[in-house]
Amino acid sequence: MAEPAQPLRVDVATGLLLGARQVLTDHFDERPPGAGIELIVIHNISLPPAQFGGPWIDRLFTGHLPRAAHPFFATIPPGRVSTHLLLRRRGELVQYVPFSNRAWHAGRSSYRGRAECNDYSVGVELEGTDDLPFEEIQYVRLTGVVRALLAAYPSLSREHIAGHSDVAPGRKTDPGDAFDWPRFRTSL
């Protein structure tokens, strides 16, 4: 699957990525007054671990993950979590929270000495694991998403893109060693 002929675009009025499948959740709130979008945090996720496809990520981010459906689900701490965007293995984009709102993806976090990354960041999940290579289409689509975000939000810059492991060291490891940062940064 190649990058779409038309570049991806964010509708700044709604905070939605045009062309993404919308699975909007109520697991978000307003950003604090004066908080702009200044950081992109890249994550990975698979539910159950190392299994791809299926409804479980949508169910997690919308608060409808049945704990009895898989033994791993019972180990996930209760709580409300979300992200702005998921990039599936085959390149499908799924949006859960408008970019203008605060998603709950980074948890306790800090970037360059500034705490509470959820307040000023966009969370982008890649369907994957720390140790399995990501798909070519995921790099292509991630580059398109980041370019769209940079165009829509002048407060963002290419220098302020971090992994979850960078903003929550010791607590989080994603996007993991399998994520090719040099390749991704060169693509921008």
Q: Is 125 a catalytic residue?
A: yes
Domain count, the chain: 1
Q: Has residue 68 been placed in a domain?
A: no
Q: Has residue 89 been placed in a domain?
A: yes
DSSP code for 153:
-
Q: Has residue 3 been placed in a domain?
A: no
Catalytic residue among 30, 125, 136, 159: 125
Residue 2 in this model has a pLDDT that exceeds 90? no
Q: Has residue 74 been placed in a domain?
A: no
Tokens standing for residue 88: 């599936």
Burial (CB < 10 A; 0-12, 13-18, 19+), residue 41, is buried
Burial (CB < 10 A; 0-12, 13-18, 19+), residue 113, is exposed
What is each CA distance from 112 to 69, 92, 168, 180, in whole angstroms?
A: 39, 32, 11, 22
Q: Has residue 179 been placed in a domain?
A: yes
Mean pLDDT of 157-185: 97
User: How far is residue 167's CA from residue 55's CA, in Å, rounded to a whole number?
Assistant: 28
pLDDT per residue over 97-154, tens digit each? 999 999 999 999 999 999 999 999 999 999 999 999 999 999 999 999 999 999 999 9
For residue 176, what is the domain's CATH number? 3.40.80.10
- Please count the other Cβ atoms lying within 10 Å of the Cβ belonging to residue 12: 12
Per-residue pLDDT at 1: 42
Q: Which domain holds residue 123?
A: 10-46+80-187
Q: Has residue 42 been placed in a domain?
A: yes
